[in-house]
Amino acid sequence: SFVNTEMYARVSVAVLFYKLANLAEESEGEGANKEIVIRCGKMFLLQLLDAA
């Protein structure tokens, strides 16, 4: 079957952003951990975009 790879990539990145936001929200009370989660998520997404 045909898979629209562009749409798949967009949905995948959207899901990653959603999960990153949830992780940051869950660690709201933990200041240092929240910052680490956000930085790691941003670094991962940047690496993902650079690989494309």
Query: Taking the complete model, does pTM exceed 0.75, yes or no?
Result: no
Tell me the residue range of the domain where 43 lies: 5-51
CA–CA gap between residue 26 and residue 2 (Å, rounded)? 37
Retrieve residue 48's tokens: 């993902």
Residue 33 half-sphere exposure toward CB, CA atoms < 13 A: 8
Q: Can you tell me which residue has the tokens 């967009």?
A: 10
DSSP secondary-structure letter at 27?
T
Residue 29 three-state SS: coil
Total domains, the chain: 1
Tens digits of residue pLDDT in 1-52? 567 788 888 888 888 788 877 777 776 666 677 777 778 778 877 887 777 5
